[in-house]
Structure 1
Amino acid sequence: MTAIMLEKACRSQILALASGEIKAFSSQQDASAKRKKYIMKSMKLAFDYCARKISTST
């Protein structure tokens, strides 16, 4: 699952780099808050996925 997310992120980065200069639209504080929120949401989704896989395999 993590490998798939990493591959999608890499593809997005390559496309963004190909389109020209990348500009930041958020302040460092906003970016940090968004990153923390995304990481927590991502961890919950991954945990829920693993829990579903375990419950369906038994």
Structure 2
Amino acid sequence: MAHKFTIKKNKAGEYVARFVYNSETIFWTEGYSSKASARNAIASVLNNGPGAAIDETDE
């Protein structure tokens, strides 16, 4: 599979959910104190992401 979510601990000991595509991290969440909270963040992205608007600005 070319893409996946991973949950890893950061240097501060917090759990961070990352979206990885072709071995490259595309985005990551804030740090959470529990793995369950990181899983909830992934569930939120999966649930809310498909309908998200695209906001393009030229600055």
Same-fold status (TM-score > 0.5): no
* Bin for the TM-score computed over the shorter chain: 0.3 to 0.5
Q: TM-score, normalised by structure 2?
A: 0.32
When you count strand as a share of all residues, which structure comes out higher?
2
When you count helix as a share of all residues, which structure comes out higher?
1
